[in-house]
Amino acid sequence: MRHARRRVVRRVTRLAAVGGLLLGATMVTRAVASEPGTPDAVPFSTASPAGKAAAGPGAALVQRLGTSRTAGSWIGSDGRTVVAVTDEDAAAEVRAAGAEPKMVRHSMDDFDSATRTLSSAPRVPGTAWLKDYRTNQVVVRGDTTVTADDWSALTDVTDGIGDFVRMERVRGAFTTRLNGALPILSTAGRCSAGFNVTDGEKDFILTAGHCGPQGSVWFADNGGRQAVGTTVGRSFPGDDYSLIAYAGGTAGADPGVVAVGGGKGVRITGVGDPTVGQRIFRSGSTSGLRDGEVTALDVTVNYPEGTVGGLIESDVCAEPGDSGGPMFSEGVALGVTSGGSGDCRAGGTTYFQPLTTALTDLDVRLIVAPQEGGGAADPSPAPSQGVAAPDSASPGSSAPVRDILPDPSTLLSRLTDPRNVGPGLLVMGGSLVALVASRWIRAEQDRKAYRRQYSAMWG
């Protein structure tokens, strides 16, 4: 009876082990078969600040005429470039260049002197200042967190600068947008991927610096299974950019495309600096694609975490989680989302880290998309194209978006991915061990039984 029970147990064990092997093999086969094949190589070129798109003729005119004779430039509602000038000779040069001059009292030198004075004053979190080219004023803003005493002290400072400084109170609070277009997550919070960049050997994500400290590990899912990469370079405060090295060394299948929601994306074909009055677009993992207008350049913002200078201001909205998301127009990359006030229900103000500054400081180049026909894209639009009129500007040419992560392209990567064939291999391995163990146990039992029978036969 006892021997019969043993035979039944051995038979069941063998059947379970063989069944496990078959099940594991099926799981592996289905997982490998369901994985996408190796994607075709996606040709791309790179763009650096040296080959950036021109920000319209106004920037060149301002540079040529000098800071003592000009006070910035912007795009008018009719699409014409307007340049603020302080004398008639400068106005004549602007007209000769095909732009529209506007006579003003204060020059860029006056603006720079005012902002230096503000920067040297005691720091007040929740404040910001900017050069408003269109009104020929320096604007100082304070959010709802600034106390009456701090606002009064700052007013005393601006009174000493001159009557071209305007004080404004704003709703909400100036905050970094921690918590693109696609979401990336770490223990520090949630941000949005900005643009893909390269140093010629490895690919990286360029995003906001406040998103996480050096060494932060990023994932594309809440479960921490889809590893994106690790922060290897960062500047915040002062600037607001960081560099995330891809875990596999290379970006995904569409490195020159930014997501705008609904599985759609925009081809990025160059890099440049924006112009005041330019229509821009930004994408983020919280609020998706939004558009607005550049309202100021070289803005200083005193976040609670620290002061960031040289930012781009826009009336486009943003919300927590949009941090680091891309800002662009006509396919030209312009910046990554830093912070601001308000939201996309009531509206607000958003600040961006200029992309050209980050690329230069990090010594990397923007990865740009291939042309729609398949050829490599030009590094940037021709300077003669200038900036599109606000009403006619678009994000850029559309393209599908697949994933932020590089697609698995080798059998090894598929076999080591626990979401694919890992479970099947584990089942197979466990079943094989069980089968070997059952065979060994049976052999030992047979040997013992043989010895007992042998001893009984020979006394």
- Active site members: 210, 240, 323
308 in Cβ contact with 337 (< 8 Å):
no
- Cis? peptide before 237, omega within 30° of 0: yes
Q: How many other β-carbons are positioned within 10 Å of the β-carbon of residue 81?
A: 24
b/e per residue 215-234 (b: at least 16 CB within 10 A): ebbbbbeeeeebebbbbebb
Residues 6 or more apart whose CB falls under 8 angstroms from that of 308 comprise 236, 237, 238, 239, 240, 300, 301, 338, 351, 353
Q: Which residue do the tokens 């925009």 mark?
A: 266
- Single-letter amino acid code for the residue at 14: R
Closest CA relative to residue 355, chosen from 44, 46, 49:
49
Beta pairing partners, 313:
296, 351
